[in-house]
Amino acid sequence: MPITRATNYFMFLRIVADSFGRRPRHKLLTGAALALGMGVATAALSVSLDVGDRLAKEFRSLGANLLVTPQADSLPLEIGGVDYRPMNAGAYLPEADLPKLKTIFWHNNIVGFAPMLEVPVAMSTEPLSLIVTYRVSPNATLIGTWSEHEVLIPDGERFVTGVQKTNPWWRIEGKWFADDASECIVGQNFARKNGLKIGSSLFLDREWAHERTTLRVTGILSAGGPEDEAIVVPLAMAQQIAGKPGQYRKLYVSALTKPEDDFGRRDPKTMNAGEFERWSCSPYVSSIAYSIKQVLPGADVRVIRRVAEGEGAILTRVRMLLWLVTAAALLAAALAVGRLRLLR
C-alpha cells in the first residue's frame, strides 16, 4: 500500500505522542527549562534594544551636553570646568537664529536649549543708596536666560524651552520669574549675604545707565554653582540692561544621543563620503554638534565631555550587564536540558 502524506503525518504524531507518553515529567521539565531560558533571553534582549532611548531621556537630568559660544571669542580660559574669561568680553550671537536648532536633521533629539547673557551690575537693596553717576562699580552678576520660553520654529509649530529643561537640577524655593515682568530669582548664597527673601526688591544700576531697574524677587535658587551667587532675570531684561538687544553669549543645548564609539570620535574631515553619511546619520553628540554648527553661523559648538562621557560609560555597562544576563539564562537552560537527558 503506498504511503501517502496523511499517513506520514499520522505516523509523526504517533511518534511524538509515544515520546511524550514515556517519562512525561522529564519532557515537561525540559520544555519548562527551554521556555524559561528563551523567555529570559528574549526579555533581556528586548530591554537591551530599548534601554538606550530610555536611559538617554533619564540622562537629561544631568543637564545640557552641548555648549554654543561665539566663534570669534578669544581662546577659552577654563580651569576645572569654570570659565575665567571676563563676562563682558568677546563676541555675541543673534537670538533670532535659535529657532533653526529645530530644523536640523536631529531636530527631534533636541530636548531643550537656553541662551544666557551675563552682565556685571551695581546692586542695592535700598532704593536711594545708589547714586547714578558716570561710573558705578559692579558688585553683582546678572544672568539673563529663559525659564519657560515659547519659540516659534520655521514649520509653524511652537516649542517651549529654557533652563527648566537644560538645567533640571536647579531647585527653586518660590516660583520662576515671568518673561514679561520685572522679576528675578536670586542664588541662595547671594540672598543670604544681602538679606533677601521672596517678595524683596532690589535695585540695579550700570555705569552708562540713566535709569534704575527695580526687580522683585520671586524665588531663591539652589544650583550648586556660580548661579548661587548671582541674580537670574529674563533674557530680554539682561539684554536691555547690557545694551545688547537680541543677543546672547552662551547657549546650552540638551540633546538625546547615543554613546560615542571609536567611529563616532573620528574627525569628520578625515572621512570619505560613505563614512561621513553613516556618521552624520547616527545621533552621536559630535554629529549633532556638527549639525548645529551648520545652522548657527559664527558659532563654536563644544561637547560637554564630562556629561557625554558619563552617559556613555553608564549605558555601556548596563548593556553589558543585560548581555551577561542573556548568556546566563541560555546557559542555565542548556544545563537543565542536559541534566534531564542524563537522568533518563
pLDDT in tens, 123-177: 887 775 544 444 457 788 999 999 989 999 888 889 999 998 888 889 999 999 9
Higher pLDDT, 32 or 3: 32
**Calpha distance 233→178 (Å, rounded):** 9
CA atoms of 96 and 51, how far apart (whole Å): 36
Kindly state the DSSP code that residue 165 receives in the 8-state scheme: H
pLDDT for 123 equals: 85
The arithmetic mean of pLDDT across residues 36-44, rounded, is 68
Task: Determine the length of the chain.
Answer: 344
Which range, 13-17, 74-78, 217-221, is most confident?
217-221
Pairwise pLDDT comparison (329 vs 218), residue with the higher score: 218
Q: Identify the band that residue 336 occupies on the pLDDT scale cut at 50, 70 and 90.
A: low
CB–CB of 117/249 below 8 Å? yes
- Whose cell is 524677587? That residue is 217
pTM confidence score: 0.70
Measured distance CA(174)–CA(217) in Å, rounded: 9
Cell digits for 119? 552682565
Residue 338, pLDDT > 70, answer no
Tell me the C-alpha distance between 228 and 219, whole Å.
12
Cβ density class 225-243: b for 16+ within 10 Å, e for less = eebbbbbbbbbbbbbebbe
* DSSP letter, residue 258: B
pLDDT of residue 33: 65
What is the predicted pLDDT for the residue at 125?
78
Give the residue with greater pLDDT, 217 vs 52.
217
E strand or H helix that includes residue 110? strand 110-124
pLDDT in the model for residue 34? 65
Burial of 128 per CB tally in 10 Å (0-12, 13-18, 19+): exposed
Predicted local distance difference test score (pLDDT) of residue 5: 64
Residue 47 backbone phi and psi in degrees, to 5: -65, -40
Tell me if 69 sits within 8 A of 85, measured CB to CB: no
Looking at per-residue pLDDT, the higher value among 49 and 230 belongs to 230
Q: CB burial class (10 A; 0-12, 13-18, 19+) of residue 172?
A: middle
Mean pLDDT of 296-320: 71
Element (H, E) at 149: strand 149-152
Q: How far apart are CA 301 and CA 77, in angstroms?
A: 16
How far, in Å, are 112, 113, 315 from residue 65 at the CA level? Answer: 11, 10, 15
- The cell numbers describing 90, all together, are 568677546
CB 23 within 8 A of CB 344: yes
Cα-Cα-Cα-Cα dihedral sign, residues 273, 279, 282, 288: negative
pLDDT at 13: 67
Distance CA 16, CA 3 (A): 19
Distance separating alpha carbons of residues 179 and 236, to the nearest angstrom: 8
Q: What grid cell was written down for 91?
A: 563676541
Tell whether the model's pLDDT for residue 269 goes beyond 50: yes
Strands (E), 249-298: 250-255
Rounded to an integer, the average pLDDT of 273-296 is 89
Whether the predicted pLDDT of 229 surpasses 60: yes
Give the pLDDT band (50/70/90) at residue 297.
confident
Phi, psi of 204 (to 5 degrees): -120, 145
Residue 61 neighbours by CB under 8 Å, 6+ apart: 168, 169
Position 115 scores a pLDDT of 95
Question: What is residue 46's predicted lDDT score, i.e. its pLDDT?
Answer: 64
User: How far apart are alpha carbons 94 and 79 in whole angstroms?
Assistant: 27
pLDDT of residue 181: 82
- pLDDT, the chain, mean: 78
pLDDT band at 62 (very low <50, low <70, confident <90, very high): low
261: pLDDT strictly greater than 80: no
pLDDT tens-place string over residues 173-213: 999 998 888 899 999 999 999 999 999 998 887 654 456 78
Q: Is the pLDDT of residue 60 over 60?
A: no
State residue 285's pLDDT score: 84
Tell me how far apart the alpha carbons of residues 213 and 211 are, in angstroms, rounded to a whole number. Answer: 7
